[in-house]
Structures are given as structure tokens and as C-alpha cells.
Amino acid sequence: MRLFGWRARVFTATVVSAGALLTLPGSPAQAAASGDLITATAKSGEFRGMANAFTVDYWTTRSNGDAVQASGALFVPDGPAPEGGWPIMAYDHGTSGLGPGCGGQSDNSRVARPNEDAVLQYFVNKGFAVVAPDYLGLGRFDTGPHPYLELRSEATATIDIVKAARAARTDLSRTWGVFGFSQGGHAALGTANLQSVLAPELDFRGTVAVDPASDVEKLVPLGGPYVPDIPGQAGNAVDAFVLSMFVGLRETRPELDMNSYLTPRGRDILDRAGSMCFGDIMKVADGVSLGEMLSRPLSDERFRSAIADYMAIPATGYDAPILLLLNTNDLTVPAPLHAALAAQFAAAGVDFGTVVGNGTHCQLNDQMWAAIGAFADRILAAPVTP
């Protein structure tokens, strides 16, 4: 596995201390490295229902290794930290779009998610400091379209905000886990797979993934000019999900030449969608079938190889427990894809458990909440690593 290389960048590292924005002493010019803190800024009053909240700007990497700025949020429990420091729970959000401000973590003015805020509050109440990345391109920096469902950059955005948060707050421990819904479940599993290589100095304890976007790379190559229009909002959503993947592939896999698979209308739609949040992407996709966007089938080996490299969840390479929370009536990520992921993990001997519900996409029932609580308690039961 090739580790990331770094471009030299000039930046000023800053941290929050006693609620103020301070500058670290040292050389004014340093090389940006994965997880380096840029700034951490205390939010005044309550932010997303919590008083102890901060925005975090930090350095992460694109999948090609280029250093790039990213943003997210940090929420810390009230009171003094326990011995060894607060354990950390990274929260990976679901699909939100492709443009700046769509991530909704460091600034939720464009994308407010009250149900998501309740999940963040749940983990803070359990005694975790929670970090929440916007993901590359979805936050405070205009770094180009978000590479939607690109596993590696989702994972680096998550791992690197954990590192940056620990630089901002000395009362955070090295012990951490990750939780995510939908795209966030996909990101959480990618994080779990890569953390031992990218952050071996940390103490990773496990993953919770709710209806993760898995095995989708096996369905997309079935597409071509022959795909009919799917009427209604469901069809717009499917087309918006797929064209978001196409935007990411075009941005990050230039050797694929994604434009060669697209009609002029398809290229125009991708050009327009690259800076939009998901609701607006659905409007762009309204009335346009996937078939109308494609000039030829996606079934050739070049496309199959590129999309698998881009987004496939590995079946091996995990060193901490995984909890899969899966819904049988999930139509966004069809339930058979969840079953396929579980079967792959079982065949590979992965340490994982499942709780299956009859809800729709990312719906949590009482049994699932109980499993989340037990999983969190297991992380908290062992002494944290300072």
C-alpha cells in the first residue's frame, strides 16, 4: 500500500485554549502533514444543541496524496476529563452533496439535520468527545467537487480530524471509535480498514455502520444508454446518487476518461452538479434518465476496475470489532447488498455482529439503539489510552 506523499505548504497552526483562538509558537513555515491542525475555534453559545463545540480546520489528503484543507466539528463533554482523557467517537455523516457547505458539520446553515444532532448528543452524553468531518470539498474550503463515496479520502478526512482534534485539545485520549450512517457507514468501514496503517499511534476500538453503501460498485457497471427513466422522486434520487459517483470518478480517476462514457447532456449535468448540495442535484437530475446521460455501456473492464478501486469496501484488513445495523426495507441501499457485505465479512473471518431491523434506510429501532449503547459501553469499559 502506497503511503501518502506531501507537498510543502505554508500554514499557521492554531489551537483553542480556554475558549480562545491561539497561535502555536514555532517556525512560521512548516510542511503540511496529514492531520495537522490549522485552526480550532470555539463556537459561541450553543452549536447544534451543545455548548462545548468547536470548528476544526485541518490538513488531509486527496487519494493521490496531495495535501488539502478540510473542516469539521468537535464536541466535548462538560466537566473535567476522566483519567487518560476523553475517548473519541468519530461521526461520519450520510449523503449531502458535492459542494462547499454541504457537509453540515462545521456549519449546518445549509444542511440542518436535527436527527443527526441527536446522535452526536447521545455520544457526548455517554462520555465521548465527538469529531465530525465535513469530508473533502463539503466544508469551509472550496477544494473542488467532493469525491462522493471515494473510500480513501472519506477515511483520511475522518482519521485526520481525530489527529487534529487531539492537537487542539490535550484532554482527548488516543482511544477512539467510528460511527456512520449510509455514506457515513461506508466511510466508517473505510476508516476502520485504513486506520492501522494511517494512524497506528492511536488506539482504535471499533466501528458502527448503519445501512452502509456497500457493493454499489457491482451494480453501477450494469448501466448504459438502455437504462430507462425511473419516474418520481425515487428515480431522481437514484440518478442523483449515481451522477454524484460519476463526478467523483471524473475528478479523481482521470485515466478513466469518464467524459468518454457520457453524452453531451450527461457532461453538462455533471458540470452543474459539482458544486451543489444533494437536494439541488436531485433537481438537476429531474426528468433525465441515467440512460440519457450515458453514451455507451459501463460494463467494460476499465470502468469496472476504476469504480472498484474508488469505492469497494474491503472484506479483510480489520483489527477491531464491527457492528452492522441493517434494515430489510432499505430501498436506498437495497437490502441484498447489506446481506452480501455480511456474507463477505463472515467468509473472511471478520470480527463483526449484526442487528437486523425491518425499517427503511438508516432507521434505528430500540434493539439497534441497545446494541449501539452496548458497543459504546464496551469501548468505555477498558481503560482509555492517554
Residue 176 in contact with residue 297, Cβ under 8 Å?
no
Residue 138 in contact with residue 97, Cβ under 8 Å?
yes
Q: What is the pLDDT of residue 237?
A: 85
Sequential DSSP letters for 282-350: HHHHTT--HHHHBSS-S-SHHHHHHHHHHHPPPSS---S-EEEEEETT-TTTTHHHHHHHHHHHHHHT-
- Nearest to residue 310, comparing CAs of 376, 251, 369, 225? 251
CA pair distance 344, 309, nearest whole angstrom = 17
Secondary structure element (H or E) that encloses residue 376, with its range: helix 366-381
CA pair distance 318, 244, nearest whole angstrom = 28
pTM reported for the whole predicted model: 0.91
CA pair distance 42, 52, nearest whole angstrom = 8
CB atoms within 10 A of CB 115: 9
Give Cβ neighbours of residue 317 (< 8 Å, ≥ 6 apart). 193, 196
Q: What is the pLDDT of residue 236?
A: 76
pLDDT tens per residue, the chain (386 residues)?
Answer: 322 232 223 223 333 433 334 333 333 335 689 999 999 999 988 898 898 999 999 999 999 999 999 999 999 999 999 999 999 999 999 999 999 999 999 987 777 677 889 999 999 999 999 999 999 999 999 999 999 999 999 999 999 999 999 999 999 999 999 999 999 999 999 999 999 999 999 999 999 999 999 999 999 999 999 998 777 666 778 899 999 999 999 999 999 999 999 999 999 999 999 999 999 999 998 889 999 999 999 999 999 999 999 999 999 999 999 999 999 999 999 999 999 999 999 999 999 999 999 999 999 999 999 999 999 999 999 999 99
Give Cβ neighbours of residue 169 (< 8 Å, ≥ 6 apart). 15, 16, 40, 74, 76, 86, 129
Secondary structure element (H or E) that encloses residue 152, with its range: helix 151-168
CA pair distance 111, 188, nearest whole angstrom = 21
Q: What is the pLDDT of residue 29?
A: 35
Please provide the distance, in angstroms rounded to a whole number, between the alpha carbons at the two ends of the chain.
29
Handedness of CA 337, 343, 345, 348 (dihedral sign): negative
